[in-house]
Amino acid sequence: MGPLEGIKVVELAGIGPGPMCAMLLADLGAEVVRIDRLEAVDLGLEQDRQFNLLNRGRKSVSIDLKKPEGIDAVLRLIDGADALIEGFRPGVMEKLGLGPDVCLARNPRLVYGRMTGWGQDGPLAHAAGHDINYIALTGALHAIGTKGGPPVPPLNLVGDFGGGALYLAFGICAGIVDTQRSGRGQVVDAAMTDGASSLMTAIYGLFASGEVSTERGANVLDSGAHYYGVYECGDGRFVSVGSLEGKFYDELVQRSGLDEAAKRDSLGDRQDKAGWDAYKERLAAIFKTRTRDEWCAAMEGTDVCFAPVLDYDEAPVHPHNVARATFVDYDGVIQPAPAPRFSRTPGGIQRPPATRGEHTEEVLTDWGFTAGELDLLRVAGAIK
């Protein structure tokens, strides 16, 4: 089930954004086959199968890409695919004999998805890097952090997953739509630097207009404004406030008691940045007068634009997340459910993460390999 049911994707195993892109497509119904190595390779983030959630939803085929027979087998799979996902450095797929020219010549309708940090060309294209480096180059990392402090890496959400996986998934889906119209495939060059830069579009617009400065913690959305930030409560836990609009700010003022504090301390206009630090000190003192649960009772569900800051144990059991089944217990692991949601063709987790090579014979058979061909691949050492 799912809106991508019937779409077939071949994924060359990697880490981070490539696997997440494949997971997103599988969650929405695509049949994704993951091509794994025959033996484990230290990629820096090896996990037990059950907890490697980015690998959920698809079957695993182990093929030795150093064997010509293995390359031929992968090309056979690509012949029957709608899309390909690969995350090697530029030129690696070409050296393997799996470059876009070869693949598109065999399957002209193929959408060839390429996931890299720096892109397929440019001065840094062949340099190693990780999420933190890619978002550093875009201005995104510089913008995240508190006043007077250093930039703070936002996990690997902005580069790997936001600027990488989501943009590649979007690109592949757009490419498939175009192929259905034109009958022709193409290459999707998804670079994390490009995607993270795209995510910063609105911020660059605010900067160009003078609404945002390059100083961290001095702007509305980066913890500079007292009405958009995180506050510690009396029990050491935290709440978030996002009272941007005037009517929401009025609600914050009324429910927190900030109006009396502002009058007492002769604080000025809320939009005057010169007074933000003083307002923050007053709000910080106010929020410390109650526990997080007490503030939730007073503000959650109101127009303050308020939410408690929840940890990994708390988020799955929050009533709103429970009501929407935002998290699910699948294969004994609490994990985020597929998103987004569709009214007529809902997606779902197709299967738990696979053991490396778990479905080799099953998938190759389903995709047209004969028993004799499987025997030849085993003799050649291309599969086990």
**One-letter-per-residue 3-state SS of 170-194:** HHHHHHHHHHHHHCCCEEEEEEHHH
- Residue 62's SS3 state is strand
The runs of H, that is alpha helices, within the chain are: 17-27, 68-79, 92-96, 100-106, 131-136, 140-143, 167-182, 192-199, 201-209, 246-256, 258-264, 276-287, 292-299, 319-324, 360-366, 371-380
Length of the chain: 384
Write down the catalytic residue from 72, 130, 142, 250.
130
Contact call for residues 113 and 24 (beta carbons, < 8 A) = no
Write down the catalytic residue from 36, 82, 131, 160.
160
- Tokens, residue 188: 């999707």
Rg (CA), the chain: 25
Residue type, 255: R
Note if 130 is an active site residue: yes
Name which of 363, 337, 335, 359 is nearest 27 in CA terms.
Answer: 337
Which residues are the active-site residues? 130, 160
